[in-house]
Amino acid sequence: MKLGIVGLPNVGKSTLFNAITNAGAQSANYPFCTIEPNVGMVSVPDERLEKLAEIYNPDKFTPAVIEFVDIAGLVKGAAKGEGLGNKFLSNIREVDAIVHVVRCFESTDIIHVEGSVDPVRDIETINIELILSDLEIVGRRLDKAQKALKGDKSMAAEVEFLKRLTQHLESGKSARSIEATEDYEKEILATTSLLSFKPVIYACNMSEDDFKGGIDNNENYKKVKEIADSENAEILPICAAIEAEISTLDDDEKMLFLEELGLDRSGLDRMIQKCYSLLGLISYLTAGKPEVRAWTITKGTKAPQAAGKIHSDFERGFIRAEVVSFDDFMSCGGSMTAAKEKGLVRSEGKEYVMKDGDIVLFRFNV
């Protein structure tokens, strides 16, 4: 999973990126500090995997990972190549979801590229650039569909939807907020590679005082929440300065620090949870002495396709999956033998839909 961290210059993007990846991206108080995108890999925290590692003491421990990409700050005119616009748009096109960092704090020490703090304006600035890029793409597809319509009347429905989508975008609304009820409409959205259709988490970067004082007291946060609700997007209140401090602590110190803030998880953990929810992802687990590992799949994935995540031969020669839920496994003292004796290990075929936390052994033959 690849997530792109975007936002206007000086909203806290690189500070947040540094905190969650410890990758040491350059962070400075002027626009275009980030030119080439910085990339950092982050392990997905999973207590289930850690408990399996305690039981099996494996030679190899492999959690799921997320790739974070810190993309250059955007300014007006990016769709026309202003600033680093073309590079920004090409980088964002490659990510699975967008973490849009929005400045929700006041500070005289940190300049704002627009001269004042206004999250609604800032969100609109970036969204408009994405929408302008999308209008070009939809326009080309509409031209192609209209030409095809002359010899194939079945293209009429696609043409009508593309016209409706064009009007929706021209009104300043993102593609992800359009109502698409028909399967062919959803298919068009899924295959047209629209930037404003990508899933979004609005990360509201607050000051330490605002974050500790209660997020609902922050008027800027409330404004961003209204936008997120209207777009079917997620929202994440976060303080990049606090995350930066947490990133330097060991696990015990981190837990104490979070408890003082009244939190049970770091901003990174909360962000990952929202990303999984937003993209409809789950994890299944494989466990043994050689390796304990988490595998990320989409909800609704069937057993053979899940096996294919490990190796294409597993899917091609799939026979069955021996499955036990993590909770059932732990209720048997972490013993696969005991789980089998209690009938909790199931033999599942090709139509089995994988569940989050399944511990699986795939049987195959090629």
Encoding tokens for residue 307?
A: 């096996």
Instruction: Judge whether residue 88 has pLDDT over 80.
Output: no
Contact residues for 112 (Cβ-Cβ < 8 A; gap 6+)? 8, 10, 103
Bridge partners, 302 (sequence order)? 353
Among residues of the chain, what percentage have pLDDT more than 70?
89
**Given the DSSP bridges, would you call strands 234-238 and 200-205 parallel, antiparallel or unpaired?**
parallel
The residue with greater pLDDT, 298 or 126, is: 298
pLDDT band at 283 (very low <50, low <70, confident <90, very high): very high
pLDDT for 43 equals: 83
pLDDT band at 143 (very low <50, low <70, confident <90, very high): very high
Neighbour count for residue 101 (Cβ, 10 Å): 28
Distance CA 45, CA 194 (A): 31
Q: How confident is the prediction for the chain on average, in pLDDT?
A: 85
Q: Cite the DSSP H helix spans in 171-218.
A: 183-191, 208-213
- pTM of the entire structure? 0.80
Instruction: Judge whether residue 242 has pLDDT over 80.
Output: yes
pLDDT for 197 equals: 93
pLDDT for 340 equals: 95
Neighbour count for residue 107 (Cβ, 10 Å): 11
The residue with greater pLDDT, 154 or 143, is: 143
Residue owning tokens 């789950």? 282
- Least confident stretch, 20-29, 98-107, 122-131, 166-175: 20-29
pLDDT band at 207 (very low <50, low <70, confident <90, very high): confident
Q: Which strands, in side-by-side order, build the sheet including 358-364?
A: 60-62, 291-298, 281-286, 358-364, 318-325, 346-348
Reported as a single tens digit per residue, the pLDDT across 295-335 is 999 999 999 999 999 999 999 999 999 999 999 999 999 99
Contact 111, 10 (CB under 8 A): yes
Among residues of the chain, what percentage have pLDDT more than 90?
48
Instruction: Judge whether residue 86 has pLDDT over 60.
Output: no
User: Under DSSP, is residue 361 helix (H, G, I), strand (E, B) or coil?
Assistant: strand
Reported as a single tens digit per residue, the pLDDT across 332-352 is 999 999 999 999 999 999 999
Reported as a single tens digit per residue, the pLDDT across 35-45 is 355 778 888 88
